Amino acid sequence: MEVCSLGKFNEASVLFSGGSDSTLAAAWCAERFDKVHLLNFHHSGMHSVGKSTVNVKRLRRKYGENKFVFKVVDIEESFHTLYFDNYYEDLRRYGTFLAAATCNICQLAMHVETVIYDVQNGVKFACDGYKREKEHVYIVMSQKGLNLLKNFYAKYGIQYENPVYDILRTDWVLYDLGITPRRNVKFPYERLSYEAQHSCFHGILTNAYVLGYHYPLHLDRSDRWLDYFKGKLKLAEDYVDRRIKT
């Protein structure tokens, strides 16, 4: 897994869905930090969030019961703020493009809540299970998007990394580490990938739209994604600043 400069950090936070990618990111942190905060996120469109505890238990068996702090964080308010504030202005500017932005804003809301949690708990390192193969669908997982996120975290004194970004089969690595009981979890074994990961009604519809319609027609419109994302990051900073001051 990728090596980065960790300085003297003792604790890390992980945007943790319970899937193989974020679970491997958590294992990466467990081998480098004294304590790892697993932040599992929830909004009204998600269901079966509690399934993520399946891999929390596996991580604890591998690295010790006291290594991990597990917390479910509600992102309903932050998601609605980021997506719907300035909505009519966004609609005039971006049109039906906004339908393809839902999952990206959901991801950004998770980062917002991670920053707030880390500031409140003195955590100076954050990471996730983002993967390179998803960079064309999610602006947050593209190199330009990740650089913007790194700057966003840095404004609050937090180092942000993506330790499993170039690992194609995270499920294989988890099995080799002795964390999971099966080697093949990802596609074409898709049903197994959800044994420890939530599902999202919004995500199903959005991904169908993005992959089936928006992405094929707008493959060369990445600058539009970036323009939209930059505007939302400014909104995210304002939201974080309000929350950490209260």
pLDDT digits (tens, 9 = 90+) for 67-103: 999 999 999 999 999 999 988 998 888 877 777 788 8
Q: The pTM is what?
A: 0.87
pLDDT band at 38 (very low <50, low <70, confident <90, very high): very high
pLDDT at 152 over 60: yes
pLDDT at 2 over 50: no
Strand duo 125-127 + 159-161: pairing:
parallel
CA distance linking residue 61 with residue 55, whole number of Å: 10
Question: Which residue has better confidence, 194 or 235?
Answer: 235
pLDDT at 9: 79
Contacts of 190 (CB under 8 A, 6+ apart): none
11-245: CATH homologous superfamily? HUPs (3.40.50.620)
Question: Which residue has better confidence, 152 or 207?
Answer: 152
Q: Are 130 and 146 in contact (CB under 8 A)?
A: yes
Q: Are 1 and 164 in contact (CB under 8 A)?
A: yes
Question: Which residue has better confidence, 224 or 125?
Answer: 125
